[in-house]
Structure formats: C-alpha cells, structure tokens
Amino acid sequence: MPSNKSVSDAPIVQFTNCRILRDHQLQREDLWVREGKILNPEKLFFDEKGSADVQLDCKDSIIAPGFIDVQINGGFGVDFSLATDDFKSGIDLVSRKILSHGVTSFCPTLVTSPPSVYHQVLPQISVRNGGAHGAGILGAHLEGPFISKEKKGAHPEHCLRTFEAGAFQDLLATYGSLDCVQIVTLAPEMRRSSEVIQELTKRGICVSLGHSVANLSQAEEAVQHGATFITHLFNAMLPFHHRDPGIVGLLTSDKIPAGRRVFYGMISDGIHTNPAALRIAHRAHPKGLVLVTDAIAGMGLAPGRHTLGQQVVEIDGLNTYIAGTKTLSGSVATMDTCVRHFQEATGCSVETALEAASLHPAQLLGIEHQKGTLNYDSDADFLMLNDSLCVQATYIAGEEVWRQDASGM
C-alpha cells in the first residue's frame, strides 16, 4: 500500500482539537499542512492513502488566517519614511516583531516624502515570503505626495505635489520606480488623476483614495477608472454630509462598476474613529472593511517624541500628534488590538472580526487564493488564538515563527 511519501517526502502535520475559520465559520475540524500549504485531508486519505507524521494538540484554540496589514509606517523605533543606511535591518526588525501581533504579511508604508527619499528607500524594499525571519512583504504602500493640501493631516506640506503636464511621468519621476509598489494613495480630485489611476491599475497597482476633499462624483469617477480602496475612512477626508457624502458615500454608491468591490481601511484603535462611526461603516458595507494599524515608529516604544517621515510626533498614551499640535499622526496600535477593539465596538462575530484583518486585505490585493483564508492549497500562514482573540502562536508556511511563552510575553 502506498504511504504518504508517494507524492512528497515532506512531513505532514495534523493540527487537532481546534476550531478553524473556514467559509466564514469557525468549524471543528483538523488542519493538515505539508510543504507550507494547507492539505485537503480527503485527497490525502483516498488518493495518497497518507496519514500524519506529526500531530499537534491545539487545546481548543481558534485557528485563523494570518493578519495582513496594508498600512503600517514603522514601529519599534523604525520609520519606513526615513532613508537610513541600515534601512534593511530596520524593516527586518519590524517584520520580526509584528509576528507577535499575528501579522504574517504587510505593506511597508511611506508617507509624503521628498523624491530623494523614495529613490533611496524603494530599491531597498523587496517583495518576499515570510518565515522565521519575520512577516512577508507584499510590496510598498505609497501614501502621498499626490494628496490634498487641505487634508494633508500629518503629511509635510512642502513635499506635496500635483500632477503637471506629464501626469503619470510626474509620478514615476517622484517615486523613481514602481517595481515593489503594491498600493498608491492619492487625492482623486486632483487634475489628471484619472489617467494616473488608469496607468497604475494597468500595472496591477492598487489605487486608494485618501487625504482628499473629493466629492462623491469625483470619488465614483476614480472607482470607474480602477481605484478600489479608501485610505483610513473618515480620517483626512471631508466629513459625511447628507447632500454630498464625499468619499464616505462610496460605501453605499450605486455607481460602482458591476463585479467590483470598494474596500476601505479603518484604524480601529479607539482614537481615530469613534465606535459609532465604526459601527456605521461596518453596517453600511461589511464586506469592504479592512483593518489597518497605520502604526508609526513609536509603536512598541514608551511615550515621548518619535518621527513620522519628515515630522516629529509626540506619543501621549494611545494618542499620537504632530509635535506641538493636536493633529493626529498615525497610531501606536497593534493589529491584534485593532481586531479585538473592532469586535467589541461593533458587536460583530469573531469570524467577521478576524476576516477584516485577513480575508478582506487579501481580497483587496487579489491574493485571496494564497493568503487570507485556510482553504485547501492556500499558504499555511495562520494563528492560534484564544477565545478573547489574543494571539497564542503565529505560523508561516506551516512553521511556528512565534509563540507566547508561559509568562505571557
């Protein structure tokens, strides 16, 4: 009788006594993993006549897909918008440290910066798989500099740019290269933004609308040209108005092209968005909600002064302000905290809260066949969590890359 070695010599690991998030439900099943992928046990039993080489008792944990953070500016003293000689070691540090937050993939995010910063930093960001060395890098998120002066938030005004005669060529000249870029946030009301959105979309880059004074029809036009995301909904955009709801109106717009879904980021840290606003957004468009941290270099550090690109920011508790002002500038929240706060604030199901940090960002980036789910043949990037949604262990490609020790650290 053929053994489980008939297809591959790699060991098969069976995770038992767990509740797996699959098909939007927590299901009492075992999880089977081989060579970094999730196996279909029926195929294993009936086609290969195989069995597990290793069994792991999960002690009734929840197993959920790894979290994906598509907007994170840095953390632990590392600022992705600063061109430093040791940039690579900085990004390595953040990718390693966020494993404890349940993040298995992320988009390092650069805020509005001078062209020289993009030209120095972007060549040092490369798309890579995660592993024991840290979370995987899906590509950079460039937030600015093609944004509104009125809604610049924590972005330095002297670095803001508009699209001139060259439009897309202006963008290329500013960034230097789009090789590792996954998301670009821009203000859709800017002249010639439509052609830029089309060019970016053609290259497989996700266009996000944010830091903008766009009205609803300008936002709808941007979506018709290919934009699919809204950067931190409610923050740095016109407030909802019943006669012209602005970008917020995209959540219930009837002008979205058939078959297209607009996603929107939410910083669910209890600071950036009132719980009532979080509930309104979630109830209006639950399948589009993507949790993001928008974390800055000060995440994981003591309160005090830190940087966000060209600006100095002050951390006071969970609040982060541009020094000397009351302008919010990113967050110090961790992704697991955002998931718990989101569930608490909205009263949504555990499954819904977990999918907002895993399935939805994967769908936004078009990678839901590999990540963000625990479907058969997808990447075995997953978390073990307790019923309070605290991360107990993080796995990438089926290998344990972080585990909470007995002291709770």
Tokens of 140: 């950079």
Whether 22 has a binding-site annotation, put simply, is no
Q: Is 294 a residue of the active site?
A: yes
What is the band of 3 on the pLDDT scale with cuts at 50, 70, 90? very low
Note if the pTM is more than 0.95.
yes
What is the band of 237 on the pLDDT scale with cuts at 50, 70, 90? very high
Gap between the Cα atoms of 381 and 402, Å rounded: 12
157 Cβ partners below 8 Å, 6+ apart?
Answer: 149
Gap between the Cα atoms of 225 and 152, Å rounded: 23
| Spatial contact of 200 and 183, defined as CB atoms under 8 Å apart | no
Superfamily of domain 13-64+373-403: Urease, subunit C, domain 1 (2.30.40.10)
Tokens of 377: 């043949």
Helices 168-175 and 193-202, packing angle to 10 deg: 60
Phi, psi of 196 (to 5 degrees): -65, -45
pLDDT single digits (tens) 209-225: 999 999 999 999 999 99
What does the longest C-alpha to C-alpha distance in the chain come to? 74
Type of residue at 31: L
Type of residue at 178: L
Type of residue at 342: F
Nearest to 140, CA basis, from 178, 108, 106: 108
Whether 101 has a binding-site annotation, put simply, is no
What is the band of 176 on the pLDDT scale with cuts at 50, 70, 90? very high
Which residue in the list 69, 79, 294, 336 is annotated as catalytic?
Answer: 294
pLDDT for the residue 409: 54
What is the band of 49 on the pLDDT scale with cuts at 50, 70, 90? confident
Q: What is the DSSP letter of 53?
A: S
Whether 166 has a binding-site annotation, put simply, is no
pLDDT for the residue 45: 82
Whether 328 has a binding-site annotation, put simply, is yes
Whether 297 has a binding-site annotation, put simply, is no
Provide the residue ranges of all domains of the chain, joining segments of one domain with +: 13-64+373-403, 66-365
- The per-residue pLDDT of the chain, averaged, comes to 95
Q: Locate tokens 């000060």: which residue?
A: 298
Whether 330 has a binding-site annotation, put simply, is yes
Whether 155 has a binding-site annotation, put simply, is no
pLDDT for the residue 2: 42
| Spatial contact of 104 and 336, defined as CB atoms under 8 Å apart | no
The radius of gyration computed from the CA coordinates of the chain, to the nearest angstrom, equals 21
> With 80 as the cut, is the pLDDT of residue 73 above it?
yes
Type of residue at 99: L
> With 70 as the cut, is the pLDDT of residue 339 above it?
yes
Alpha helices, H only, 81-180: 87-97, 115-121, 168-175
Yes or no: domain 66-365 corresponds to CATH 3.20.20.140: yes
pLDDT for the residue 407: 54
Measured CA distances, 78 to 82, 171, 218, 298, 300 (Å): 8, 26, 36, 8, 10
What is the band of 393 on the pLDDT scale with cuts at 50, 70, 90? very high
Burial of 258 (0-12, 13-18, 19+ CB in 10 A): exposed
Tokens of 401: 């890359």
Gap between the Cα atoms of 53 and 55, Å rounded: 7
